[in-house]
Structure 1
């Protein structure tokens, strides 16, 4: 069943390697949580974060956005609503197509050897049951077209991004996401820096069915509203959730 994005305007990005606020009631008002990160992330701390959030807010949708297969297990797959798999347009080949092609090559030819494959999907589950397991989790996989617009960010480093897109290229990536790749999500990521509405407005013109997410530097309700007014379906807020929960509350529209 596809994720229903109606009513989702505020998304919280939770890094399982970071401390969660002691009072998770701060999440009241957010519409969806994405759990994921790169440094220090494991399957266990991912599962711990997912379960803590779901215990407090059992009706809040939770996605896992793993960077590595080691972040995922049958337990995390069962716990979350969806797995979000990024394809970084302005990253290197490894972070756009290589992980995906290598993974499905192994699944198709030797499913018993999928353990440890590069795509962030659980290897042991697939290896044990092959096509049956693929069928079981396929409804949970969401492809994300990704553009990273901050060269100084960790996201850019790990994804091999060495150049930024102009706004017309962001628009082209959005058009490709919906009309060619058919991904349900297009994500403009400024990763800690507020990029403003220009790229969002450029992308929004070409998206009807694909959801447009913006993440990066959101620290006020006014910034949230500016991005939503530019055409984003939702903002993604991460850093201040961990660093300043009271300021985080001010990003909720």
Structure 2
């Protein structure tokens, strides 16, 4: 399947380490979302990723893996997104794990299926921030500088502002989007209602809805009903 992320406005993010019934998965995959993003901060393994992929592949929805560790790299996804945590204080999350993966698999990778994403993690209480040693105490100029670095210096096709469970500052998201010239701005964090989905969709290019799936599926499904015209 040919996947063009430039057309995405809404995606659901599913965590292989969390339980999801077949009925719930059916509703998600048939919801009209633009894609399914598979990934998580902890507990992601080859086995649970393979299992989730096999279940999603019963549907025609695009399915993308966000690679959180090289042990969980599973073939068969439409795209593979490689996070580079721009505001990490640990080089492992900027180049370290990437180097290790390329040392092992670099000669056999299909680079047409791989996209780098410049992550900016802003919720200090999130698992993602703790795991990656992210410096979340950033001013607006810090965030836009990281975004420009990903967009213009490193030519990454995706900049991802991640609040991970907390609804973020949409004015900051909007200003960050305005600084980008080539990259697409993804936003994830705290989108648990249609109103928040619509607000976030106006601030970012693509919204990512995740945690609410596991606590209030009906509200999660409502988030698909955003204005996709860009107005």
Structure 1 stretches of at least 4 aligned residues deviating more than 6 Å after TM superposition: none
Instruction: Give 5+ residue unaligned stretches, structure 1.
Output: 108-113, 115-125
RMSD, matched Cα? 1.8
Which residue in the other structure is 1:240 paired with?
Answer: 212
Which residue in the other structure is 1:209 paired with?
Answer: 182
Shift of 1:187: 0.1
Shift of 1:2: 7.8
Instruction: Give 5+ residue unaligned stretches, structure 2.
Output: 227-231
Whether contact under 8 Å (1:167, 1:198) holds in the other structure is: no
Deviates more, 1:25-34 or 1:82-91: 25-34
User: How far, CA to CA, are the matches of 1:155 and 1:197 in structure 2?
Assistant: 20
User: How far, CA to CA, are the matches of 1:168 and 1:21 in structure 2?
Assistant: 43
Which residue in the other structure is 2:98 paired with?
Answer: 100
The count of corresponding residues between Structure 1 and Structure 2 is: 221
Deviations 1:44-92 (A, max 9, x none): 110111121120x22x1111112111111xxx22x10111110101112
Whether contact under 8 Å (1:168, 1:202) holds in the other structure is: no
Deviations 1:175-217 (A, max 9, x none): 1111110111100000000013122112111223211000000
The structure with more radius of gyration: 1
Counting only pairs closer than 5 Å after superposition, residues 174-193 of structure 1 correspond to structure 2 as 174-193=147-166
Deviations 1:108-155 (A, max 9, x none): xxxxxx2xxxxxxxxxxx3xxx63x13xx2111110100000010000
**Candidates 73, 80, 83, aligned match of 2:80:** 83
TM-score, normalised with respect to structure 2: 0.89
Matched, 1:30 2:33: yes
